[in-house]
Structure 1
């Protein structure tokens, strides 16, 4: 049985007007087409809905019974459609932005300011994630776009690079390496290491220096969910940790920060799902790209930082 809402609306109009002529005028359709639709409805339902004479149109008992239910069904359908439209309007006026600790550092504020200026009616819902979820909500689709650090498992995710930050090692202030001006990767390979509280093998391989270990497992002694947790563990001598240069903006007692001269830089990007590239997502990515290109001094300060300058930037 195939019934269209148009036929039901036509039926209600005829039932209320008790005239095909007046119903056709009310619906702004041809009377012949209206009559054909009612006949099709009666055939689909296997019911006679109207008794017709040359002078009058009357509802049958079946038609009268159907009318009440159809009115209710059409009212419910219209309400549901309106609710869906409201939900869609709300969704189009909202962008969910995922990020890890630090987000895009000093580029975060100008990117968000430029986005809000271009989209004053859009709410940016910011959601912070820990090391447990390096994709910052992109993998499971709980965010629209995210500031993320590569690498991690990235099936179905695209990226726009913003900057690449140098790596540093955090060691206890009494550690044998603490007085060196810098260290190299080989200096860290046998150290008890603090890893991240994630099961993402790509993320762990990068931060645990797997490419330098000739297949040997990293001596991970503990796993953490945040930089603050790592700092506490380093301070009490649990292990050392590989992190990024912006960690200097969180000075911590009994922790020494050492540049790692030959380590790869860590790339910070804007990420989004290829199956969710909405107009707002495209606009956010375009704005992030423009802000990056318009602020070479900020990018240079992140890629070639002064590690002795621990002053927290005003807009972080």
Structure 2
């Protein structure tokens, strides 16, 4: 008899609910080819067809549509059983270290903490802020168990759940030639000196330097900054520009700088990240709570006081 893994069931449920490989892969934080391979392996193992695929759409077959609610019910049961075991053991009492990268989902962070603490009053959440020198927000060093970050980061053993996405914006000195524009293209700014994160930020630094589109045009580093305060101060002084996100434009508006939307960059994601092999019961409770109550780009209403 063929065996099915819990991971395959989660992959099937995600694709069955999204009916879109890109969205399902983002939700699972895997690549589209990996998701496609897993679904094909599941179908081949049982000799069934669960989805019909074309260049334009993905649809459940009659068999897939009949099986989806059963899989959803089974997954909910597994989660509830694990959740109940930890609850019965009483090991969720205690403190949870939740890391977050400075300026990353500030409003999202506090909604998560408030919503979780309302559901688990026996757990005390300790948010810990990290600057650009550590975009893993303490996960790489083990200083935190769960963290709100902005991929990409070098965390191959970690899982990530995408919670939100934002567009890129350029932070410019107020007297910059493009400061009066309503929008810009990334290529228009690649020759400008740029304020960037410390070298310890690794691939995250390269991402915000837009290295993927520079080709043979290396960036001119105007200054290195580990915080938005230092970054925006350097830009207000006219030392250079930076690339950031739309939420930063809301939270870090300062005299002497202007934020202009960038039209041709893929969105930047905010993700909850954790190492599944090193979760305390408190961290596991938070991860499961967020998985159960959050959907991509949305958060539940604030809990009643």
Give TM-score scaled by structure 1 length.
0.62
Aligned to 2:263: 261
Aligned to 2:133: 132
| Structure 1 runs not aligned, ≥5 long | 1-88, 300-316
| Structure 2 runs not aligned, ≥5 long | 1-89
Aligned to 1:163: 164
Aligned to 1:292: 294
Distance 1:210 1:294 in 2: 27
Aligned to 1:153: 154
Distance 1:140 1:285 in 2: 19
Q: CA deviation at 1:112?
A: 1.1
2:279 aligned with 1:271, yes or no?
A: no
- Please say if residues 164 and 298 of structure 2, whose CA atoms lie closer than 8 Å, have aligned partners that are also in contact: no
Q: CA deviation at 1:92?
A: 5.1
Q: CA deviation at 1:297?
A: 7.7
Q: CA deviation at 1:128?
A: 0.6
Distance 1:129 1:192 in 2: 25
Aligned to 1:218: 219
Aligned to 2:238: 237
Distance 2:221 2:98 in 1: 31
- Please say if residues 111 and 291 of structure 1, whose CA atoms lie closer than 8 Å, have aligned partners that are also in contact: no
Distance 1:298 1:280 in 2: 20
Q: CA deviation at 1:119?
A: 1.5
Distance 2:189 2:172 in 1: 10
Q: Which is further off, 109-118 or 168-177? A: 109-118
Aligned to 1:202: 203
- Please say if residues 92 and 281 of structure 2, whose CA atoms lie closer than 8 Å, have aligned partners that are also in contact: no
How many aligned residue pairs are there? 211
- Please say if residues 168 and 267 of structure 2, whose CA atoms lie closer than 8 Å, have aligned partners that are also in contact: yes
Aligned to 2:71: none
Distance change (3 Å), C-alpha of 1:158 and 1:296: closer
Give TM-score scaled by structure 2 length.
0.64
- Please say if residues 182 and 260 of structure 2, whose CA atoms lie closer than 8 Å, have aligned partners that are also in contact: yes
Aligned to 1:36: none
**Aligned positions of 1:56-75 closer than 5 A:** none
Aligned to 1:174: 175
- Please say if residues 169 and 258 of structure 1, whose CA atoms lie closer than 8 Å, have aligned partners that are also in contact: yes
- CA deviations 1:13-54 (Å, max 9, x no partner) are xxxxxxxxxxxxxxxxxxxxxxxxxxxxxxxxxxxxxxxxxx
Q: CA deviation at 1:91?
A: 8.9
Distance 1:125 1:271 in 2: 16
Distance change (3 Å), C-alpha of 1:195 and 1:137: same
Aligned to 1:27: none
Aligned to 1:97: 98
Aligned to 1:228: 229
- Greater CA radius of gyration, 1 or 2? 1
- Please say if residues 170 and 257 of structure 1, whose CA atoms lie closer than 8 Å, have aligned partners that are also in contact: yes
- Please say if residues 139 and 145 of structure 2, whose CA atoms lie closer than 8 Å, have aligned partners that are also in contact: yes
Q: CA deviation at 1:108?
A: 2.0
Distance change (3 Å), C-alpha of 1:138 and 1:232: same
- CA deviations 1:118-143 (Å, max 9, x no partner) are 22111111111000000000001111
Aligned to 1:110: 111
Distance 2:92 2:278 in 1: 13
Q: CA deviation at 1:113?
A: 1.6
Distance change (3 Å), C-alpha of 1:295 and 1:171: closer
Distance 2:300 2:193 in 1: 34
Give the secondary-structure state (helix, strand or coil) at the position aligned to 2:234. helix
Q: Which is further off, 120-129 or 196-205? A: 196-205
Aligned to 1:62: none
- Please say if residues 182 and 258 of structure 1, whose CA atoms lie closer than 8 Å, have aligned partners that are also in contact: yes
